[in-house]
Amino acid sequence: MAKKLKTLRCPTCRTIVLAGTEDFPFCSDRCRVIDLGKWASGGYVISSPIHDPELIDELEGLRDREHSDSSSGSGDVQ
């Protein structure tokens, strides 16, 4: 039975790349640098919010503190 080669398409230019190549999963260093540039410039974003329970609790605590600080003030402007 013949061994099947693993391939993938380069995320930048969509060229077929073999799994064992030096720049895998990219086809070349050029495509790797282009991809890095997109990350660095904010071209890629996470499309859904992160649902970390600790982070949510922390943000709710900050919101509650801000709300209590603004409502506990006397409202006098000096």
Does the pLDDT at position 67 exceed 90? no
Residue with tokens 């993938």: 8
Q: Do the Cβ atoms of 5 and 27 come closer than 8 Å?
A: no
Domains and CATH numbers, the chain: 1-44 (3.30.50.10)
CA–CA gap between residue 11 and residue 17 (Å, rounded): 10
With 0-12 / 13-18 / 19 or more C-beta atoms within 10 angstroms meaning exposed / middle / buried, residue 70 is: exposed
Does the pLDDT at position 62 exceed 70? yes
The model's pTM: 0.52
pLDDT in tens, 5-59: 788 999 999 999 998 889 999 999 999 999 999 999 988 887 777 677 888 888 8
